[in-house]
Amino acid sequence: MKKIAIALTMIAAMSSCAQKNPLLQEWDTPYGIPPFDKIQLTDYIPAVEAGIKQQKEELDAILNSTETPTFENTVAAYERSGAILAKVSGILFNLVETEGNEEMEKVVEEATAMLTEHEDDMAMNKTFYERVKAVFDADQSGLTREQQVVLKKLYESFTRSGVGLDDASQERLREINQKIAASQQKFGSNLLAENNAFKEKFGIPASAYYPEMTSCEDRDRREAMFKAYSSRGNNGNDNDNKALCLEILKLRAEKARLLGFDTFAAYQLDDKMAHDPQTVDTFLETIMNAASAKAKEEIADMQVIMDEDIAAGRIAQGTRIQPWDWFYYAEKVRQRKYALDENLTKPYFKMENVRQGVFNAAHRLYGISVEPLSGVTVYNPAAEAFKVTDADGSLVGIFMTDYFPRDTKRGEHG
């Protein structure tokens, strides 16, 4: 009796938690937009755990079925699974890219470890693989082209995830996947910190680097910016990414070998159009040869203008074009040869004008309409929400734009 009472108490507590956690509730919001103003950092991990639990139960239902495996009861059923997890992950991993901070980084680190383990559990499940294989080996003539592609991708994903490995190799692959996921997450966090350090030093966000290098007349400043920008993550400080890069490369190489590939590049390209590294290398070599020849012509044009600056005493004798001179003198060449001054065209290419042009083109090409949404909750005041409708007026979806840099944004343009 006592055990029953304890179980009922736990169920009641879990139910109460779900009721308080906005990520585990149905959203009574316009168009189902996430209630960003109600979501707390403490909500994510319980929601991830609930999402994993839900998908495991859904997968168990698929695997315990006594029916002959079909696309509908196996592949489609799996595609429909994990609704909570998809919802939570979509919010968490998008926000860490745009609204990141140390506390969220810790949440993402914990969530990444849980999700990586869960994905490996599904991808290495031999029973699941056998059901999908039975569907793949069966007559597919009754499937649509889209269904055949979904089936093929799911079937091939098992071998690429190590379903055929022995237990020891699978265990090692799990360890590798965990370490890669954690290292990649840390890499992004370090880059955000380095971008913010760049901004603090030069007074501009990292995303403004290229236009600043184009217009900055101070050559010493250009050199300092070039060296700082190109060495982000390579400064021997707490944000240094060299060891992480080396670790990721080693782990990827070992993963590829475990899965039967000579290199990680071969593993990555095996299911892509190029198929193998040799094809990519040949393609890139062709581009590189042509690009190098053109670059030499451009450098010669730039040096002519730099020599004029040298003759005028603005630059020391014997100076040659350096990497930090490229954008600055390329702009001068553009103005001289083509009478093209970007400052004259910029007013016509304001973000709002360009965006509206894209919306107009989408309407003319595809019949869809895009209109701004007001009065809805967004994750940051800088973000804007838009409603997309089809030609018949039916809702296609909602999307949000967030163009400009800030200290919480990751990556190249953070």
Dihedral angle over CA of 402, 403, 404, 405, nearest 10? 80
Give pLDDT, residue 362. 96
Q: How far apart, in whole angstroms, are the C-alpha atoms of residue 166 and residue 258? A: 10
Give pLDDT, residue 87. 96
Give pLDDT, residue 90. 95
Helix 83-98 vs helix 44-63: angle between axes, to the nearest 10 degrees? 150
Mean pLDDT of the chain: 93
Q: How far apart, in whole angstroms, are the C-alpha atoms of residue 247 and residue 384? A: 39
Residue 90, classified by CB atoms within 10 Å of its CB into exposed (0-12), middle (13-18) or buried (19+), is: exposed
Largest CA distance in the chain: 97
Q: How far apart, in whole angstroms, are the C-alpha atoms of residue 304 and residue 337? A: 12
| Residue 16, number of CB atoms within 10 A of its CB | 10
Give pLDDT, residue 265. 97
Q: How far apart, in whole angstroms, are the C-alpha atoms of residue 3 and residue 15? A: 18
Give pLDDT, residue 410. 76
Give pLDDT, residue 348. 87
Give pLDDT, residue 332. 95
The closest alpha carbon to 113, from 14, 13, 202, 181, belongs to 181
Give pLDDT, residue 411. 55
List all residues 6 or more positions away from 78 whose beta carbon is below 8 Å from its beta carbon: 58, 59, 62, 128, 154
Phi, psi of 36 (to 5 degrees): -55, -35
Give pLDDT, residue 406. 86
User: What confidence tens digit (pLDDT) does each residue in 128-170 have?
Assistant: 999 999 999 999 999 999 999 999 999 999 999 999 999 999 9
User: What confidence tens digit (pLDDT) does each residue in 81-113 have?
Assistant: 999 999 999 999 999 999 988 899 999 999 999
Query: Are residues 214 and 327 in contact, defined by beta-carbon separation less than 8 angstroms?
Result: yes
Give me the residues of the chain with pLDDT under 50, please. 1-15, 413-414
pTM: 0.86
Query: Tokens 């992480």 appear where?
Result: 244
Give pLDDT, residue 9. 44
Three-state SS at 276: coil
Q: How far apart, in whole angstroms, are the C-alpha atoms of residue 205 and residue 223? A: 17
Give pLDDT, residue 17. 54
Which DSSP state fits 390?
-
Give pLDDT, residue 345. 83
Q: How far apart, in whole angstroms, are the C-alpha atoms of residue 385 and residue 379? A: 10
Q: List, in sequence order, every residue forming a beta bridge with 399; answer none if it has no partner.
A: 386
Give pLDDT, residue 409. 85
